[in-house]
Amino acid sequence: METQMVETVALAGTTAAVVDLSMWSLFMRADLIVKAVILLLLMASFWSWAIIFDKILRIRKLNARADHFEESFWSGGSLDELYDRIGSRPIDPMASVFVAAMREWRRATSRGVSHEAGRVSLPQRIDRVMQVALGRELDQLERRVGFLASTGSVAPFIGLFGTVWGIMNSFHAIGMSKNTSLAVVAPGIAEALFATALGLVAAIPAVIAYNKVSTDIDRYAKRLEAFSGEFGAILSRQLEERA
């Protein structure tokens, strides 16, 4: 009896040693479909993290530049001097909105537009060019953010597909070997669970980051809209003072 128990324990230890369930072993042992699913999820996760770091750092930098620009704008200095100092190459969206409005203002006043026509059309044109500049800058800022939403919604289903395929391979192995031991079933089940885990690893950070980045962009967009409204009001008052 003791000899039989020893042999059973030794056989179990041998089986455990043979069945390698490490991540690399699972990937190398998987078939072509499961490998493609794993590689796709890894690439999606890598690209998602690249977008996350890029957007978070860029939004933080834009807010810092906006603070610096607003400090110069509200310092009481001349708007013409600020425009000449920024030049034709603004480095942040708020400066781009300012430059677009000042360019339209200078173009209109240099032509000697009549006060009556200016009261009606010039503020509208200035507001329009600011909205165009604002929309163009926000489009640049929102680029590739949609990939995070797509990854968060699609990655779990891609992982689920790998899971189903791995379980199918497990049942096929059972049918071919007519053996239901753990050594036969475990690799396929592990591949299936590995694909599911990678799907979640890719999806969860993408969803969280998408919500954060979208909120930060919306907050920054409201800041730009507030600035454009205030600047439009300033130019309108200057136009009335010239009347």
Per-residue pLDDT, averaged over 160-187, amounts to: 74
Residue 181: predicted pLDDT: 67
Residues 218 and 59: beta-carbon distance below 8 Å: no
In the predicted structure, residue 160 carries a pLDDT above the cut 70? yes
The yes-or-no verdict on residue 44 having pLDDT over 90 is: yes
pLDDT-derived band of residue 116, with 50, 70 and 90 as boundaries? very low
What is the average pLDDT across 79-97? Answer: 86
Number of Cβ atoms within 10 Å of the Cβ of 45: 19
- Whether the per-residue pLDDT at 187 is higher than 90: the answer is no
pLDDT of residue 184: 63
Report in angstroms the alpha-carbon separations of 109 from 85, 95, 180, 237: 20, 21, 87, 14
Higher-confidence residue: 119 or 58? Answer: 58
128 part of a folded domain: yes
Residue 5 included in any domain:
no
Residue 1 lies in a domain: no
Residue 2: pLDDT above 60?
no
Q: Which of 35-39, 176-180, 215-219 has the highest mean pLDDT?
A: 215-219
In a domain, 14, yes or no: no
Residue 134, domain member (yes or no): yes
Average pLDDT (96-116) is 77
Tens digits of residue pLDDT in 49-74 = 999 999 999 999 999 999 999 998 88
pLDDT at 16 over 60: no
pLDDT band at 120 (very low <50, low <70, confident <90, very high): very low
Domain, as residue range, for 139: 25-242
Asked whether residue 20 is assigned to any structural domain, the reply reads: no
The total domain count for the chain is 1
The per-residue pLDDT for 167 is: 82
> What confidence tier does 183 reach under pLDDT thresholds 50, 70, 90?
low
Per-residue pLDDT band for 76 (boundaries 50, 70, 90) equals confident
Whether 191 is covered by a domain: the verdict is yes
Mean pLDDT (the chain, rounded):
81
Percent of the residues in the chain that have a pLDDT greater than 70, as a whole number: 77
Distances (CA, A) of 40 to 47, 192, 198: 11, 15, 10
**Mean pLDDT computed over 150-159:** 94
150 lies in some domain: yes
Residues whose CB falls within 8 Å of the CB of residue 145, separated by 6 or more in sequence, listed in order: 51, 55, 210, 213, 214, 217
Which of 122, 130, 139 has the alpha carbon at shortest distance from 99?
Answer: 130
Q: Is the pLDDT of residue 96 over 50?
A: yes
